[in-house]
């Protein structure tokens, strides 16, 4: 028996199943975040961290959509293997922005307001300088690349990840 084969068939199959794979991978990543947080802190904090990571990942998807409204030489971010891997990594990177603050809040003493103030004072500057600004320095280099793949899929997407992560970690989380 013979069958037709072409390299384009591989790409067609990828685009046929990529949305389901993306949803499954993101849910597994957020589930892993929940499990790790539950094992290290408590279940309530795990739901909080996983929920924050989920909403931050949705923010990255929305930010990517906004970037696509300004295509670079006709190119935009499509749902493919590269963007799905980047989104799953975004879920992992978002943990950095929210887990340190929520752990500080969890182990502080006093009223909720006092604990939030302590968490921001003790870990807020580390999140801003140690995570946000250092990642932005690394991401800024990608915008000068000659490859549109690096600029679009990594420069724009990682900028969105860092900005949304900082927003979630420093503005939304304390509230």
User: What is the DSSP code string of 21-51?
Assistant: HHHHHHHHHHHHHHHHHHHHS-HHHHHHHHH
Query: Given this model, what pLDDT does residue 27 score?
Result: 95
Residue 72 backbone phi and psi in degrees, to 5: -95, 110
Query: Given this model, what pLDDT does residue 175 score?
Result: 61
What the block records as the tokens of 48 is 């909080």
Q: What is the pLDDT along the chain (175 residues), one digit of tens a residue?
A: 777 777 777 777 777 888 899 999 999 999 999 999 999 999 999 999 999 999 999 999 999 888 888 877 777 888 888 889 999 999 999 998 888 899 899 989 999 999 999 999 999 999 999 889 999 999 999 999 988 888 888 898 999 999 999 999 899 887 6
* Placement of tokens 């739901």 in the chain: 47
């Amino acid at each position: 028996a013979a069958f037709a084969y072409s390299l384009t068939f591989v790409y067609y199959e990828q685009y046929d199943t990529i949305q389901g794979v993306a949803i499954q991978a993101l849910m597994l990543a957020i589930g892993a975040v929940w499990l790790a947080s539950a094992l290290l802190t408590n279940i309530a904090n795990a739901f909080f961290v996983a929920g924050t990571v989920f909403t931050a990942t949705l923010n990255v998807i929305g930010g990517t959509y906004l970037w696509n409204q300004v295509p670079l030489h006709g190119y935009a971010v499509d749902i493919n293997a590269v963007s799905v891997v980047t989104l799953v990594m975004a879920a992992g990177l978002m943990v950095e922005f929210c887990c340190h603050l929520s752990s500080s809040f969890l182990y502080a003493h006093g009223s909720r307001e006092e604990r939030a103030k302590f968490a921001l004072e003790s870990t807020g500057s580390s999140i801003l300088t140690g995570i946000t600004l250092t990642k932005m320095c690394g991401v800024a280099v990608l915008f000068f690349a000659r490859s549109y793949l690096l600029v679009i899929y990594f420069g724009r997407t990682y900028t969105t990840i860092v900005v949304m992560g900082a927003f979630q970690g420093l503005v939304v989380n304390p509230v």
